[in-house]
Structure 1
Amino acid sequence: MRILENIISDRGSKYAVSGGPCHSAEEATAFIKELCRTKKFAKATHNSWALLTPEAPLKNDDGEAGAGMVILRMLEREGLPNHLIVVTRWFGGKHLGGDRFRHVQEAVRIYLEDLRTR
């Protein structure tokens, strides 16, 4: 599990991104459960994620409507199957409107770049 914390901050909201190899919905659930064993992530407002599997694409917005689809599209463009990416947001008290999608995209870009350089 790779976790990149405090990568984006906007109007009080803070973002992190994490991910790792994953092959099924069950593994994705276990990954999120493991991530949330850390109190900080358990208290996050949203842990949105997506995963490309050979059977079907999987996503979960976790209340951040549309975030899972943004992550999924980026995984498809990257051609990265069997790898889960989770974008975590701690709500800062001010609505971000469409900027929240830009932040989700940027978080995934940061993760993918980190993955390429490892």
Structure 2
Amino acid sequence: MLVIEGVISDRGSKYAVAGGPCETEEAAKEFLRLLKKNKKFAKATHNSWGLLLDGTPIKNDDGEAGAGMVILRMLERDNLQNHIIVVTRWFGGKHLGGDRFRHIQDAVRIYLQQLAV
């Protein structure tokens, strides 16, 4: 499990990104359970995620409407199969509008760059 904290901060909202190999939907649930063992992630406003299981898209917005689809599109673009990516947001009190989607994309990009190293 690769966890990168403090990747983005905007108007009080803070973002982190995490990911790792994932072969089943049950493994995705276990990944989230392990991530949330860290109380900081358990208390996050949103833990949105996406996963391509042998080409089958699975996502969860966790209240951040559209976030899972943004993650899935980026996984599809990189053809990253059987690998979960979770973007975590701690809401800072001000709505970000469409900027939140840019932040999700940026967080996934940072993760993918780190993965390639």
Residue 59 of structure 1: aligned partner: 59
TM-score of the pair, normalised by structure 2: 0.99
User: 2 CA distance for matches of 1:89 and 1:21?
Assistant: 21
Structure 1: where are the runs of 5+ without partners? none
User: What does residue 12 of structure 2 align with?
Assistant: 12
1:89 matched to which residue of 2? 89
**What is the distance in 2 between the residues matched to 1:72 and 1:111?**
14
- Displaced runs of 4+ in structure 1, greater than 2 A? none
Deviation at 1:55, TM superposition (A): 6.0
| Percent of paired sites with the same residue | 71
- Who is 2:68 aligned against? 68
Q: Say which SS state the counterpart of residue 62 (structure 2) adopts.
A: coil
Q: CA RMSD in A?
A: 0.7
State the secondary structure of the residue aligned to 1:59. strand
CA distance in 1, matches of 2:41, 2:27: 18
C-alpha deviations, 1:71-92, integer Å up to 9, x for none?
Answer: 0000000010000000000000
Which sections of structure 2, spanning at least 5 residues, go unmatched? none
Q: C-alpha displacement at 1:106, in angstroms? A: 0.1
Does the CA contact (< 8 Å) of 2:55 and 2:81 recur in 1?
no
SS in 1 for 2:68: helix
Distance 2:8 2:74 in 1: 18
Letter in 2 for 1:32: L
Give 1:64 deviation, angstroms.
0.2
Q: Does 1:43 align with 2:31?
A: no
Report SS of the residue matched to 1:14.
strand
Amino acid paired to 1:38:
N
